[in-house]
Amino acid sequence: MRIGLMGFGTVGSGVAHILHHYREDIAKQTGGDVHIARVLVRTLERPRGTLLDDAVWTTNADDIVAHPDIDLVIEVMGGLEETRALIERALRAGKPVVTANKDVVARYGAQLCAIALEHGCDLFYEASVAGGIPIIRALAHSYASDRITRLCGIVNGTTNYMLTRMAADGASYEAVLKEAQALGYAEADPSADVCGWDAARKMAILSTLAFHAEVQLDDVATEGIDRVTQADIAYGAKLGYTVKLLGTAARVGQRVTVSVQPTMVHHAHPLASVHGVFNAVYVYSEAIGAAMYVGAGAGSLPTAASVVADVIAAVRHNRLGVSGKTWSRELPLRTLLPEEEVRGKYFYLLSVADRVGVLAQITDLFARIGVSLQSVLQQSPQLDGPVDVILITHETHRAAHAQCLEALERLDAVEHVKSVYQVLDA
């Protein structure tokens, strides 16, 4: 099998390393040699090590997606529209494609899968979500006999690293962001990570598989970690919670709801102890119950190992003559659960006037809307200034939560609502 590799950055060089290093093992499993025949790069100027022959490098995508000597295409170059077009051309030319590109899969996954199906090729994308965790394969195969009702994931390592550091050292958001940038975990423009967009793409991919219905990127209600403060983390800890950027997807009857938002996760929940750049996906299903998958979320070798596992599967399918027949299938569009019907627990941090009766006014407000409270914590007052009050509700509809929020903001005694979080209990 002659592979055309598009992209030779962190993941691409990892793929070359693994295909070289485990060449014999891979040949045993696929029944033949699997090697890189062409590599698409932006420029031929840069030195690229000695692992690959001088003849492999090209700056012309046609040498890969349109060339008869290429049997399988690996796409690890990033990008969106141009890359999608290249993947489509490869599939239309009958070449199986393995990609690690979450942007392309989240936006065009269903469309590209249909093209793959039509042309009898495999399109695999295990590495597009949580690099070192085989969650795509698990959702596609191991849950074939079950019905997933809820899925929670820590699917962005950069923000999990930042939140872990903020919780451990009391460092500020700005300080840990700089640190993450210095370590290469965060980009110069960190928005895709800290605004939750990267996590949203992954949740769209996971929930499409989990619910057998196409969840689009715009369906994911997305909020980042850029407003998470030290105070939120400290008060959360006092009440037994850790702040995590959590992707949540739930099925209610035939309707689904998917979000990415900073969440107060109870210490006793297994997701609370997933630290640093690790990723984790927690799956609840009717038959199996709770299961959790934890592993490296990114990095050259973990991601490349997922890419190559997909390559091995695609090569086997090719040799058995079943390419494109094993798990591509067309998916219906999802129906979204209306916002107001989504159920959840909420955490409020309020700044209130320090006078008698304020707490009673607030708890009365919740009672009138019909939202019951699980905990109320009032900070000991400072000289003269306002005091912080933290409230955690029991489960309620989002509509009731919105009503509480609006009423709180109108209440004279409430100076302002400092933060609001979703809550996940154990």
Distance from C-alpha of 8 to C-alpha of 76, rounded to nearest angstrom: 7
**Could you confirm whether 102 is annotated as catalytic?**
no
The values of phi and psi at residue 216, to 5°, are -95, 160
Q: How far is the CB of 187 from a copy of itself (least distance, A)?
A: 23
Question: Residue 216 corresponds to which tokens in the numbers above?
Answer: 């689009």
Q: Which SS3 state, helix, strand or coil, does residue 72 take? A: strand
212 vs 255, which CB is nearer to a copy of itself? 212
Count of H helices and E strands in the chain? 14, 18
**Helix orientation angle between 358-369 and 398-410, rounded to the nearest 10 degrees:** 150
Total length of the chain: 426
Buried b (16+ CB within 10 A) or exposed e, 29-56: ebeeebbbbbbbbeeeeeebeeebeeeb
Min separation Cβ 6 and a copy of itself, Å = 18
Q: Which residue has the tokens 């485990």?
A: 22
Q: Identify whether the C-beta of residue 15 lies closer than 8 Å to the C-beta of residue 304.
A: yes
User: Least distance in Å: CB of 108 to a copy of itself?
Assistant: 23
Q: With CA atoms as reference, report the closest residue to 305 among 94, 71, 22, 67.
A: 22
Instruction: Pick between residue 133 and residue 176 the one whose CB is nearest to a copy of itself.
Output: 133
Give Cβ neighbours of residue 91 (< 8 Å, ≥ 6 apart). Answer: 97, 112, 115, 116, 119, 121, 123
Dihedral angle computed from the Cα positions of residues 202, 203, 206 and 209, in that order, rounded to the nearest 10 degrees: -120
Considering the complex, state which of residue 186 and residue 301 has its C-beta at the smaller distance from a copy of itself.
301
DSSP state of 54: G
- Concatenate the DSSP letters of all residues of 282-350 into one string: EEEETTTEEEEEEEE-S-HHHHHHHHHHHHHHHHHHHHHT-TT-SS----PBPEEPPGGG-EEEEEEEE
Q: Which of 234, 235, 244 lies closest to 264, judged by CA?
A: 244
Annotated catalytic residue, options 202, 244, 345, 418: 202
Nearer CB in complex with a copy of itself: 25/69: 25
Site residues for a copy of itself per CB under 8 A: 14, 18, 22, 25-26, 28-29, 126, 132-134, 137-138, 141-147, 212, 270, 273, 285-296, 299, 301-302, 304-309, 311-313, 316, 320-322, 325-326, 329
Candidates 305, 295, 315; CA nearest to 17 is 305
103-136 burial string, b = 16+ CB within 10 Å, else e?
A: bbbbbbbbebbbbbbebebbbbbbbbbbbbbbbb
**CB 392, CB 263: distance < 8 Å:** no
Instruction: Please list the active-site residues.
Output: 202
